Amino acid sequence: AGAETLKRAVQLDVASRFQESLVCYQEGIDLLLQAMKATTDEAKKHRYQQKISEFTFLSDSKYHKQIRIEENATGFGYEKLFHEYLTENVSEVWVEDPYIRQVHQASRYLLYNFLRFCEMLVKGPCKVKTIHLLTSYDEGSGRSQQMSALEEIKQSLRNYGVTLNINFSSSIHDREIRFNNGWMIKIGRGLDYFKKPKGLFSIGYCDFDLRPCRETTVDVILSKHTRKC
């Protein structure tokens, strides 16, 4: 399976379909690593290692794409933005966002946005088992509401076999999302790039693809390593 995936990666590379080829390179290398760990045959291990070194060299560059979301643009729901990077081998996700807190703020519903993001991960096609959230504490009376909401999300995810690890930092300022297949997505506004819905029964309240966005920039980067919170 690893060899076939790598063969496909080369074909995509030759066709200048670089984004797809990088994904295939990485998945093929991961499969060869698994095979190398599983075998006790030293000759096979050596062959696997040679192939891994060869294709690691080919896939060693970083991929970077930038997406500009215009003011009031629609069609940028979480599924649309993240789906192509959530391959089947994604099992762990890191979310860094200092503002996963206020539920009822003038223009933000950040805890609800994080819940929507988690729902997307649960639906697949990836098989996420662990989500790491690094955020900051809400200030004043909002902290108890923040903790209660995050605990409810944590318990609900557990029903789907997903563990949510929550950590807090008073100095966090970056907003980024990382998957353990090497993809990193940095959104200027974090998960909060949607405008407040006009009402509880207005189009776009439930379906984020129909919700107008606020202007922001999305940077998509593929790297071989992920940094854990």
pLDDT single digits (tens) 85-129 = 888 889 999 999 998 986 555 434 689 999 999 999 999 888 999
Which of 36-50, 69-83, 206-220 shows the lowest mean pLDDT across its residues?
36-50
**Total count of domains within the chain:** 2
Q: Give the integer Cα–Cα distance in Å for 173 and 175.
A: 7
Q: Give the integer Cα–Cα distance in Å for 9 and 58.
A: 10
Amino acid at 180: N
- Given this model, what pLDDT does residue 19 score? 65
Residues 132 and 207 in one domain: yes
pLDDT band at 227 (very low <50, low <70, confident <90, very high): very low
Question: Is position 107 within any domain?
Answer: yes
- Given this model, what pLDDT does residue 229 score? 38
Whether the model clears a pTM of 0.85, i.e. scores above it, the answer is no
> For the segment 148-196, what is each residue's pLDDT rounded down to a tens digit?
999 999 999 999 999 999 999 989 888 999 999 888 999 999 999 999 8
Residues 7 and 74 in one domain: no
Residue found by looking up tokens 């991929």 in the block: 63
Residues 45 and 78 in one domain: no
Buried b (16+ CB within 10 A) or exposed e, 203-221: ebeeebeebebbebebebb
**51 pLDDT above the threshold of 60:** yes
Among the candidates 34, 60, 86, a domain finishes at: 60
113 and 74 Cβ atoms separated by less than 8 Å: no
Residues 218 and 137 in one domain: yes
- Given this model, what pLDDT does residue 62 score? 58
Residues 26 and 89 in one domain: no
* Average pLDDT over all residues of the chain: 84
Q: Give the integer Cα–Cα distance in Å for 9 and 116.
A: 33
Highest averaged pLDDT of the listed ranges 2-11, 15-24, 40-49, 187-196: 187-196
Residues 196 and 97 in one domain: yes
| CATH code of the domain covering residue 113 | 3.30.870.30
